[in-house]
């Protein structure tokens, strides 16, 4: 059998694989290897792995495979606890979509001019990455609509708990299409996060990687 680089084996297309390689990413980490095939199947996941083990690519890569560039509404929403993280994930996504046509991403967070964000949201945006408060603001203005959302990620869920964002996060989830795929990523799994995950996922795959192995 011909040699296949590991991300290809997991179901990631060659254009993205090439960009990963250009950025020094050649081998998937343990959490990436376990979650990517499950997310590609459209299943809900509850994923736990230590900080620094590559959880961001574990959801970004399958999301990019599942985005339909011909549809210009929001298909994927990633909720993050901080603006820094929203910007960091946006940078990663932008690197990877360079090889893909007609996929657009927008970060949405507090502290940035809301009118400016509203203007940007008018264009085609398949992926939105944002913090809970500002996302709710846009949802109430109608500038973010989640009626056709197909993928929802709660990233660094334990941090959102520690920052007191769970009520806002729940409000956002309740406004999202019930047909969505839901993914929760966290370094730790306090009982409030376990309970949130159980309430808002359907028949999820529970994936946990112990230790800090990459």
- In the shown chain, the binding pattern of residues 85 to 124 toward Mg ion, with x for contact by CB under 5 A and - for none, equals ----------------------------------------
Task: Name the residue nearer to ligand ADP (CB basis): 146 or 153.
Answer: 153
84 binds, among Mg ion, ligand ADP, none (CB under 5 to 8 A by kind): none
Q: Residue 156's CB: how many other CB atoms inside 10 A? A: 21
24 vs 167, which CB is nearer to ligand ADP?
A: 24
Residue number closest to Mg ion, CB atom: 55
Q: Which residues bind ligand ADP (CB under 6 A)?
A: 25, 27-29, 32, 49, 51-57
| Cβ proximity to Mg ion, 55 vs 134, nearer residue | 55
* Rounded least distance, CB 211 to ligand ADP, Å: 12
* Smallest distance, Mg ion to C-beta of residue 147, A: 28
Task: Report CA 130 to chain centroid distance, whole Å.
Answer: 10
Q: Do 199 and 169 form a contact (C-beta atoms < 8 A)?
A: no
Residues 32-61 that bind Mg ion (CB under 5 A): 55
Residues 163 and 91: their CA atoms lie apart, in Å, by 23
Q: Which of these, 44, 29, 35, 36, lies nearest to 13 by C-alpha position?
A: 36
Min CB(21)–ligand ADP separation in Å: 10
Report which of 145, 61, 142 is spatially closest to residue 103, judged by C-alpha positions.
61
CB of 48 to Mg ion, least distance (A): 12
Residue 130 binding target from ligand ADP, Mg ion, none, CB below 5 to 8 Å by type: none
Cβ closer to ligand ADP: 28 or 204?
28
Give least dist CB 142 to Mg ion, A: 30
Where do contacts with Mg ion occur on this chain (CB under 5 A)?
55
């Amino acid at each position: 059998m011909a040699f296949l680089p590991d991300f290809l084996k997991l179901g990631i297309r060659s254009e993205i694989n090439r960009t990963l390689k250009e950025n020094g990413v050649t081998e998937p980490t343990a959490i990436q290897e376990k979650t990517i095939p499950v997310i590609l199947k459209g299943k809900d996941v509850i994923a736990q792995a230590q900080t620094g083990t590559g959880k961001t690519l574990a959801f970004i890569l399958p999301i990019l495979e599942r985005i339909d560039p011909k549809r210009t509404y929001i298909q994927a929403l990633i909720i993050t606890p901080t603006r820094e993280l929203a910007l960091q994930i946006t940078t990663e996504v932008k690197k990877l979509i360079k090889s893909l046509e007609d996929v657009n991403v927008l970060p949405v967070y507090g502290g940035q001019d809301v009118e400016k964000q509203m203007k940007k949201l008018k264009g085609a945006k398949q992926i939105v990455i944002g913090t809970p408060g500002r996302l709710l603001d846009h949802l109430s203005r109608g500038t973010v609509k989640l009626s056709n959302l197909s993928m929802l990620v709660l990233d660094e869920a334990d941090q959102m708990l520690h920052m007191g964002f769970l009520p806002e996060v729940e409000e956002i989830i309740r406004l999202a299409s019930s047909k969505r795929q839901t993914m929760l990523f966290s370094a730790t799994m306090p009982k409030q996060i376990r309970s949130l995950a159980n309430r808002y996922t359907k028949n999820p795959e529970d994936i946990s990687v112990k230790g800090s192995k990459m």
